[in-house]
Amino acid sequence: QVQLVQSGAEVKKPGSSVKVSCKASGGTFSSYTISWVRQAPGQGLEWMGRIIVLLDITDYAQKFQGRVTITADKSTSTAYMELSSLRSEDTAVYYCARVKEDQLLVWGQGTLVTVSS
């Protein structure tokens, strides 16, 4: 049974960066594609990007190009999402999800990132 466990909540200052981790267990991490999705308070789901772990290939939503970096460490079965130049509008719950044939099949529990001065 594949499980994704994310790092804990973060409080960040505007202009800083945040790095959220997503540790996988119960499967073959190197065969995964991991997507990152965020949800601002009271708002909908927003896809940020993905990494094809085996090939180390990333794709990013145009909105986040230049501000987001998704990486994966095969040795620890952990994916990371780093978002820079944070602003108040980036306050959201950030989810990682394992992608299988375009479906987001298994989700992490979510990480709340609060951006506040």
Partner 1 sequence: SYELTQPPSVSVSPGQTATITCSGDALPKQYAYWYQQKPGQAPLLVTYKDSERPSGIPERFSGSSSGTTVTLTISGVQAEDEADYYCQSADSSGTYTIFGGGTKLTVL
Which positions touch partner 1 (CB under 8 A)?
Answer: 35, 37, 44-47, 50, 59, 61-62, 95, 101-105, 107-110
Least distance from partner 1 to the Cβ atom of residue 53, Å: 16
Distances (CA, A) of 57 to 39, 73, 96, 99: 24, 13, 16, 14
Least distance from partner 1 to the Cβ atom of residue 13, Å: 26
Q: Which is nearer to partner 1, 62 or 75 (CB)?
A: 62
Least distance from partner 1 to the Cβ atom of residue 24, Å: 15
Collapsing DSSP to helix, strand or coil, 37 comes out as strand
Q: Which is nearer to partner 1, 15 or 100 (CB)?
A: 100
Rounded Cα distance, 13 and 108, in Å = 25
Strands (E), 14-67: 18-25, 33-39, 45-52, 57-60
Q: Which is nearer to partner 1, 35 or 78 (CB)?
A: 35
